[in-house]
Every structure is written in C-alpha cells, then in structure tokens.
Amino acid sequence: MERSATPEENAQNPASPDVEMAVRLARAEASLEALKEIVELERKRAEELRAERDRWAGIAEASQRQITHLTAKPPEPPAVIPMPAPEPVADRSRGWWPWSRRAV
C-alpha cells in the first residue's frame, strides 16, 4: 500500500488501520466527554430537585402542625374588652365655659 503526500491522493486510497483507529478513538473520547457532562448536569438537577422536595415537605409538615394545633384545642371565646367605669357627674352649677356661671 502506498501513501501519497497530498490529501487528494490519500482520499483515493483507503485509510490505514492506524488512522481509522485513531479517528474512532477520538470520536469515542468526544462521546465520553459529552456523556460525562450530561451525567454531571443530571446530578446537579437531581440535587436541586431533592432540595425543592425537602422544602415542600417542610411546608407540608408546618401546615399539618398548624391544622393539628387548631383542631386540638376548643375554640377560645372572643376576648372581652372591659369598658371603663362611667365618670361621676360633675357639678352642674357651672357652665361649660369657665366664665359663664349660672345663677344658683
């Protein structure tokens, strides 16, 4: 088998087994790297999903505690606000204005 110096002539000759293996190896390595990237992305995505699941589980547990707390106690009556005692009636001999006095 002859090897020529120009690529055009090499295109006419079948590729040597060494070159073919090198090309296949390069393609396999490229595929391997791409698959490693995909695996890493999926690993990150799974971690994000776990964190989101845990957050939602915490929300559900807090809601359940609130429901249990509200249903366990009897409802409390509304708070009664005490009214202030009525003020004693002031001496009506004087008018509203201090200088206007009524005759008694």
Count CB atoms within 10 A of the CB of residue 91: 6
Distance CA 48, CA 42 (A): 10
pLDDT tens digits along 52-95: 999 999 999 999 998 888 887 666 777 787 778 877 766 656 55
Sign (positive or negative) of CA dihedral 18, 21, 25, 27: positive
Q: Do 4 and 13 form a contact (C-beta atoms < 8 A)? A: yes
C-alpha closest to that of 56 among 18, 48, 77? 48
Sorted by where each begins, the domain ranges of the chain are: 15-72
Better-scored residue on pLDDT, 76 or 30: 30
C-alpha closest to that of 12 among 21, 20, 3, 24? 3
pTM flag (> 0.85): no
